[in-house]
Amino acid sequence: MTATVAFIGLGVMGFPMAGHLSAAGFTMQVYNRNRTRALEWAERYEGTACATIADAVKDADFILTCVGADPDLTSIFKGSDGIIANARAGALVIDHTTASATIAEQLARDCEEHGIGFMDAPVSGGQAGAENGQLTIMCGGHRGHFEQAQPILACYARAKNLMGTAGAGQKTKMVNQIAIAGLLQGLSEALNFAEHAGLNIEKVVDVISKGAAQSWQMENRSGTMARGEFEHGFAVDWMRKDLAICLNEARKNGASLPVTAVVDQFYADIQAMGGRRWDTSSLIERLRDRK
């Protein structure tokens, strides 16, 4: 497929995702707030590092965004140099940021008023999933936009699903983060118990991972948790940002999230221990600290 793609936000996720698109033959125009990062990307991949958002998006068929949070989205979409003011009519925006459903719904309306398509499409799979092109993508928007986006998403997704209208992708990502928080706390307690009991962690995991306790977290993080290695992806700071979104949405829709609320505070403890950039499996270190 011959198309021009603008990619805004070249963090640990966006950098390799944009790289996959370049490798697939799309004409790439990238922008990052820290221009050095964009220039580094352009040295590694085929594409243009643009000085402004306007330059990146003005002739793009697809505009992909992957930034930090709601305020960052407001910054790149609004204003005279923003996406909405400079994207051409008929372009499709695919937002991979994990953000609130509220801003996804608002941006969808704003884009539609200017003849621009919009789809919220948060991802799961972490840095490794982005680098290996194995992300899971949860989409919210029109069916036509979802179909239009298929050649793009196929470059870095192992699974992609349309979950409903605008905002549904973000709400699905909230479900994902709620589930992960509870799983990691349970796994942390289990491994910490095994340590106190004097058991061989590798043998314990080998046997219980064959039964009902099995999970992706157990298969991929139990070993590093046992060794106290927490440099494997999604940072605690970002998890707290995501859980705040989950808890705020729950207050709106009436859902009860008692475990999520407690685990969020456990992550606050990890931050206080100096683990702001540790990955989310570091919950076990809080238990060790209390021996």
Q: What is the mean pLDDT of residues 263-281?
A: 97
Domain boundary residue among 101, 131, 165?
165
Residues 10 and 115 in one domain: yes
Q: How far apart are CA 135 and CA 146, in angstroms?
A: 16
CATH of the domain at 130: 3.40.50.720
Long-range contact pairs involving 257-261 (C-beta distance under 8 Å, separation at least 24): 257/178, 259/181, 259/182, 259/185, 260/178, 260/181, 260/182
For residue 232, what is the DSSP state? Answer: S
- 152 and 195 both lie in a single domain: no
- Which of the residue ranges 1-5, 21-25, 227-231 would you say has the lowest mean pLDDT? 1-5
151-170: b (≥16 Cβ within 10 Å) or e: ebbebbbeebebbeebbbbb
> With 80 as the cut, is the pLDDT of residue 291 above it?
no
What global pTM score does this model have? Answer: 0.94
**pLDDT tier for residue 289 given thresholds of 50, 70 and 90:** low
Same domain, 101 and 158: yes
Instruction: Please give the Cα distance from 159 to 172 (Å, whole number).
Output: 14
Asked whether residue 188 falls in the same domain as residue 221, the answer is: yes
Instruction: Compute the average pLDDT of residues 75-100.
Output: 97
> Is the distance from CB of 252 to CB of 212 less than 8 angstroms?
no
CATH at residue 225? 1.10.1040.10
The whole-number average pLDDT for the span 139-163 is: 98
Under 8 Å between Cβ of 53 and 86: yes
Domain that holds residue 278: 171-288
Angle at 228 between CA 227 and CA 229, to 5 degrees: 95
pLDDT of 233: 76
pLDDT digits (tens, 9 = 90+) for 172-183: 999 999 999 999
**pLDDT: is 163 or 2 the higher one?**
163
User: Mean pLDDT across the stretch 7-18?
Assistant: 97
In whole angstroms, what is the distance from residue 236 CA to residue 264 CA? 10
Q: How many domains does the chain have?
A: 2
**Which pLDDT belongs to residue 270?**
97
What is the model's pLDDT at position 232?
Answer: 83
173 noted as active-site residue: yes
**Mean pLDDT, residues 200-209 taken together:** 96
The H or E element that residue 139 is part of is strand 135-140
Residue 13 has pLDDT above 60, yes or no: yes
**Do residues 74 and 41 share a domain?**
yes
Specify whether 184 is located in the same domain as 284: yes
**Under 8 Å CB-to-CB from 145, ≥6 apart: which residues?**
92, 117, 118, 119
pLDDT of residue 272: 97
- 129: pLDDT strictly greater than 80: yes
* Domain endpoint, select from 148, 165, 182: 165
Average pLDDT, the chain: 96
- Position 2 scores a pLDDT of 81
Is a pLDDT exceeding 60 seen at residue 1?
Answer: no
**92, 197: one domain:** no
Return d(Cα 231, Cα 128) in angstroms, integer: 12
- Please determine, for residue 130, whether its predicted confidence score (pLDDT) is greater than 60: yes
User: Which one of 58, 78, 160, 173 is the catalytic residue?
Assistant: 173
Q: Report the distance separating Cα 62 and Cα 60, nearest Å.
A: 5
Q: Please tell me the predicted confidence (pLDDT) of residue 214.
A: 95
Indicate whether 161 and 193 sit together in one domain.
Answer: no
Determine the average pLDDT of the residues in 76-86.
Answer: 97
